[in-house]
Amino acid sequence: MHPMLNTAVKAARRAASLINRASQDLDALTVENKQHNDFVSEVDRGAEATIIETLLDAYPEHAILAEESGRKGQSDYQWIIDPLDGTTNFLHGFPQYAISIALAHQGQLEQAVIYDPTRNELFTASRGKGAYLNDRRIRVSRRTRLSEALIGTGFPFRDFSHVDAYMAMFRDMIQKTSGVRRPGSAALDLAWLAAGRLDGFWEIGLSKWDIAAGCLLVQEAGGLVGDFEGNDSYIDTGNIVGGNPKIFAQILQVLAPHLTEKLKSA
């Protein structure tokens, strides 16, 4: 395993032990509302601090982009961190959440870790070296027909500016696929797509820390990611589609009639 990936795994496991401990007594947590329906607890902050400390201990000159504490440092290497993706699930004891850590070098994603502490599932990828679940190589599914595909998504829940476009997409998607799921952690949705448990995924307006590690996992598992027109602006806009190559193209076709100007490639 690449030493930088190894360090990221160590950081994710440390954060996981803090998250697991806190999950034993959810009532004891202090929860703040960052904005409407956007919660943060001392667990998010504690997990993030542990991750950053572990990474900077090994690579003090690297830069950080982290959900709760923002940007730190200037370097060709940047760690992109979501210490707890799926906070709402976590706070309700709904076991679908994960730690997501990616490393970009000169803007290109190189290493990815997504760790699901409730199932002890560790998803990892290094550019050019494939994607893994624990010690097993993973690939995207081979399903070719959208009508047989299981698609993941995320509903708008804090910013409702695209809700009409989203509902139109959703209405089409539930009629054209075998099912649509909203598990509540975008990072895990992408990891599960990489592992073939989902055949496709789309969501509007995610943040870089939600998707960075998941994108590399999907690509290294043989899948595609893009914005709603199949281009590259997803990493900045967070408007993202993923899928195995066949399903990816069919999702774009379903979304196309519902794209407002703001949802087209930036």
| Angular region, 218: left φ>0, alpha ψ -120 to 50, beta rest | alpha
Task: Choose the binding region for ligand IPD from 52-60, 73-81, 86-94, 193-201 (rule: CB under 6 A).
Answer: 86-94
Report the side by side order of strands in the sheet with 200-203.
179-181, 150-153, 200-203, 240-243, 224-226
State how far the alpha carbon of 263 is from the alpha carbons of 54, 129, 163, 228, 236, in Å: 37, 33, 12, 7, 12
116 touches Ca ion (CB under 5 A): no
Which tokens sit at 49?
């601090």
110 touches ligand IPD (CB under 6 A): no
Binder to ligand IPD among 16, 19, 78, 85 (CB under 6 A)? 85
Instruction: Choose from Ca ion, ligand IPD, none: what does 15 bind? Cβ within 5-8 Å by kind.
Output: none
* Closer Cβ to ligand IPD, 86 or 223, answer by number: 86
Q: In whole angstroms, how close is the CB of 29 to ligand IPD at the nearest point?
A: 14
Which residue type sits at 105? H
CA 130, 131, 134, 139 torsion-angle sign: negative
Instruction: Choose from ligand IPD, Ca ion, none: what does 96 bind? Cβ within 5-8 Å by kind.
Output: none
Task: Choose the binding region for Ca ion from 4-12, 59-67, 111-119, 155-163 (rule: CB under 5 A).
Answer: 59-67
- Which residues bind to Ca ion, rule: CB under 5 A? 67, 82, 84-85, 210
